[in-house]
């Protein structure tokens, strides 16, 4: 089987340090070549994505994992800006939120989220969800800008 040649850059937009730590730990255990970048609020997320200020040399992420409940600028505002920007809109955005409110889910899809996942409360379930995200987005789909040669291949690594 063929494997991905290029590392995958993931922007994790999350203000809860415990969730950041848990997500990073779960992603590292999968064994994929991943670089995780963290923004703790929506303003920093947009500055990272637009490569502004201290983020001028930041990579364009292959994937964004976005919490909705963020300080300064919430996740829905970030999602609207990303999907409204021609330079950013092809970046897949996964909403990973504690909210199971149908209005939040509908709004996220209306704003063109690529998927919406409710954060499970248990440790093992959370690890399982993050592992599933990583396996699907890093091993199954072809990401924009990566092409079929360096993207994942259906059926595994």
Decide if 64 contacts 91 (C-beta within 8 A).
yes
CA–CA dist 48, 81 (Å, integer): 13
The domains of the chain are located at: 8-150
Residues 6+ apart with CB under 8 A from 50: 85, 88
Mean of pLDDT values over 19-42? 87
Decide if 32 contacts 4 (C-beta within 8 A).
yes
- The H or E element that residue 49 is part of is helix 42-50
pLDDT in tens, 61-80: 999 999 999 999 999 999 99
Statement: residue 122 has pLDDT above 90: no
Burial classification of residue 108, based on how many CB atoms lie within 10 Å of its CB (0-12 exposed, 13-18 middle, 19 or more buried):
buried
CA–CA dist 79, 63 (Å, integer): 12
Q: For residue 147, what pLDDT is reported?
A: 53
Domain 8-150, what fold? Rossmann fold (3.40.50)
pLDDT in tens, 143-155: 887 654 444 433 3
């Amino acid at each position: 089987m063929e494997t991905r040649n290029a590392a995958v850059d993931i922007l994790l937009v999350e203000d809860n340090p415990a969730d950041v730590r848990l997500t990073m730990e779960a992603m590292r255990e999968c064994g994929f070549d991943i670089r995780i970048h963290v923004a703790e609020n929506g303003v920093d997320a947009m500055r990272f994505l637009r490569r502004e200020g201290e983020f001028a040399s930041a990579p364009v992420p292959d994937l964004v994992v976005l919490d909705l409940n963020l300080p300064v600028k919430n996740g829905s505002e970030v999602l609207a800006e990303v999907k409204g920007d021609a330079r950013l809109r092809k970046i897949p955005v996964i909403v990973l939120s504690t909210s199971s409110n149908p209005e939040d889910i509908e709004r996220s899809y209306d704003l063109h989220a690529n998927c919406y996942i409710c954060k499970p409360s248990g440790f093992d379930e959370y690890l399982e969800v993050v592992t599933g995200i990583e396996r699907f987005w890093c091993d199954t789909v072809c990401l924009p800008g990566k092409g079929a040669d360096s993207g994942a291949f259906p059926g595994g690594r």
